[in-house]
Structures are given as structure tokens and as C-alpha cells.
Amino acid sequence: MENVPNVDDAIISVHCHNDLGLAVANSLIAIEQGARQVECTINGLGERAGNTSLEEVVMAIRTRRDYFSEYYTEINAKEIVPISRRVSRTMGISVQPNKAIVGANAFAHSSGIHQDGIIKSRVTFEIIDPKEIGWKESQLILSPRSGRNALRHRLSELGYEVDAEQLDKVYERFLKVADKKKAVQDADLEAIMSDEIRSIPAVYELDYIQIVSGTRIASTTTVGIRTEDGIVERASTGDGPVDAAFKAIGQVIDIQLNLIDYQIRSVTEGEDAIGEVSLKVQDNWEYHHGTRCQH
């Protein structure tokens, strides 16, 4: 860059894609060569193979001070994991378990020699303190006996500030989850809050659904949809229960949609876990995405 006139008067930016898995490495080299702005994304999301992962760049600079002693960011590292989860749920794109920094296995140790090393000294296999980036376990156990103040306190620790009206709505959903579980985890609360943040007035509401499906029978789904005119019931067959349900709902809302993607996953572990459904549909040339949790 020494051949560029007045380069010192400009902030040089670097924008990398991860087609060869080198977006973060190239961005770090660019910093060493004079770039002072890195264009990156949470979880490395982006075109094709993705863009430079924000969390990996931030923690590389924070952790390897022997290489990056002259550089810093103003990112609050403790928000990295919570924001990663929120982006994942909002976009309906799961984070791969072995993803650096924010993957579920990033600080999981299964082999005997690794477990032994962690017990003796965590720094043997953990170059980063998990708590530094927001991996933490709640010391406050939330149960059906927990009150609103305890819930508000834990939500505040997770970064959610709610008013009295919002707290009432969240508390009602919290109790439904707590009644089915011995302890409500942070991931449960984040899923509930994610739903509340995205909550919009319902034009149609699913009142009931009945599914008949098997290995040698056609899948049939009957739905009852609550509309401003009352409950409308429709039934349809399809290539599986999801397809049948989608077609039955389509008869009620009278909109021809193309199902692009459908995912369901558990938010937490165990048989009593909250389930989260992510749906992506196409209406002519427009794409719409929705996510909803169910307990």
C-alpha cells in the first residue's frame, strides 16, 4: 500500500469470502498489512461459503496478543455466544457443532486424554476461557416455583430488559415450560424471548391439527384455522404429513406458497425439551421466513 498516494488518510477495509476456508486467516493477514476495518458476519454467514467470521477474528486478536499486540476491537466478547444463538434462531440456520468459538462442541471434551488434561489444567486444551465469550451456566435454578423477580433477574443477565407487560407474557410462557421440566435452562428462556421479540399480530391461528400417516397409507392432515370469521376446517393428502398440512393450510389462506425449507430441532436436551420449527416459503418472487417454539 506504500505505492498508494495519501493512503494514510484512508481506512483500508478487507472483505473476504470463505470459499477455501481462509476468510479469517486472510483477514488477519490484512490487518497485519495495514487494514483497519474487517467486514465480517456473525457465525460467518454470507454468500456461497460465507464471509469472515466476526467471532473468530475478535477472539484471535484478543487471545494471540503475541501476534496482535498493536490491535484491538471494541466488541463486547461476552455477548458473542448469546448473539450467535439469536442470529441462528432468527435466520433458521443452525451453527455447526464444531464451529470455532460458538459451536456446541467448541468447549466439549470426550476423549479420555483430553478430559484428563482439562481436569489437571484447563489451559491445556482450552486457549480461551468459555466465560469470556458468554458460555456460562446459570447459578440461579428456575423452576415452577420461581417468581417474576427471579425470571426478570435471569433475563437481565442474559441481556433482555422487559417491562411489566412483557414480563407478564413471558412469565406465562415460562410457567408452561417449567411445569414440564425440573429446571428451565438459559436456552429455553432465549427461545421464549426470541418468540416474543418477533411476535406480530396473528391473522390466522392454528386451532387444531390431526394427522394420519404410515408406511402404507397416504398421509392426510386435517387442520382447523381460526380466522376473523371463525374456525375453518380443511383436509388434504400429500407426500408426507408436512406436505399434507401445508396444502390443507393453503386451502384456508388461499395463497399459493412454495415450501423451500422446513427444519425442526430441540432447543435443549431431553425428552421435555422445547421444540423449534423454522420455515421458509416462496410467494412468487418473494421469500418469507418464520420461526416458532413449542413446548
pLDDT digits (tens, 9 = 90+) for 206-218: 899 999 998 888 8
Task: Please tell me the least confidently modeled range out of 56-70, 108-122, 134-148, 157-171.
Answer: 108-122
- Decide if 289 is inside a domain: no
Assign 138 a pLDDT band (cuts: 50, 70, 90): very low
Strands 37-39 and 13-15, sheet pairing: parallel
- The stretch 193-204 carries a mean pLDDT of 72
Domain of residue 40, residue span: 7-83
Q: Among 83, 113, 134, which residue terminates a domain? A: 83
Report percent pLDDT > 70 for the chain: 88
Give dist(CA 54, CA 159) in Å, integer. Answer: 20
Q: What is the CATH number of the domain that holds 240?
A: 3.30.160.740
Question: DSSP state, 29?
Answer: H
The pLDDT, as a whole number, for residue 288 is 81
Give, for 290, the enclosing helix (H) or strand (E).
strand 286-294
State how many domains the chain has: 3
- Decide if 280 is inside a domain: no
- Decide if 174 is inside a domain: yes
- Decide if 248 is inside a domain: yes
Does one domain contain both 192 and 214? no
Does one domain contain both 208 and 249? yes
Q: Among 39, 56, 83, which residue terminates a domain? A: 83
Does one domain contain both 22 and 68? yes
Phi-psi region of 266 (alpha: psi -120 to 50; beta: other; left: phi over 0): beta
Does one domain contain both 175 and 228? no
- The stretch 104-120 carries a mean pLDDT of 70
- Decide if 100 is inside a domain: no
Does one domain contain both 230 and 248? yes
Point out which residues pair with 234 in neighbouring strands.
Answer: 223
Residue scoring higher pLDDT (145 or 24) = 24
Cα separation values, 233 from 205, 227, 243, 250, 252, Å: 12, 11, 17, 11, 8
- Decide if 172 is inside a domain: yes
Give dist(CA 276, CA 184) in Å, integer. Answer: 16
Task: Please tell me the least confidently modeled range out of 17-26, 80-89, 263-272.
Answer: 263-272
Q: Among 83, 104, 135, which residue terminates a domain? A: 83
Give dist(CA 250, CA 257) in Å, integer. Answer: 7
pLDDT in tens, 18-42: 999 999 999 999 999 999 999 999 9
Residue scoring higher pLDDT (270 or 284) = 284
Cα separation values, 228 from 202, 205, 225, 252, 258, Å: 10, 10, 10, 12, 25
Question: DSSP state, 109?
Answer: -
- The stretch 136-157 carries a mean pLDDT of 76
The owner of cell 443477565 is: 157
- Decide if 70 is inside a domain: yes
Q: Is the pLDDT of residue 112 over 80?
A: no
Give, for 15, the enclosing helix (H) or strand (E).
strand 13-15
Task: Please tell me the least confidently modeled range out of 163-172, 244-253, 286-295.
Answer: 286-295
Point out which residues pair with 289 in neighbouring strands.
Answer: 280
- Decide if 88 is inside a domain: no
